[in-house]
Amino acid sequence: FQWDKYMGPLTPTMGEKNTILNDLINEYYTKFIVGDIPIEKFDEFVQRWYDLGGKQITDEVNDWWKNQK
């Protein structure tokens, strides 16, 4: 088990996209849990998350992490 190591401030994209990404997460997770959509749609969810800014956030956090060492 590894804890999330990001301890910095919101990245620019987090500040801009967190609301829409959190809404997407809540929508998909709720639908997965109640059975409205099959778990096989998880890859679709991940792609949408990346497309809506998740990829850019991941890159920003990874850049932050590289600079911490």
User: What pLDDT score was predicted for residue 32?
Assistant: 96
Closest alpha carbon to 62 in 21, 19, 1, 13? 13
CB neighbours of 8 closer than 8 A, spacing ≥ 6? Answer: 61, 64
Contact 37, 28 (CB under 8 A): yes
Instruction: Render pLDDT for 26-66 as a digit per residue (tens, 0 to 9).
Output: 999 999 999 999 999 999 999 999 999 999 999 999 898 88
pTM of the model: 0.81
Give me the percent of the chain exceeding a pLDDT of 70.
Answer: 91
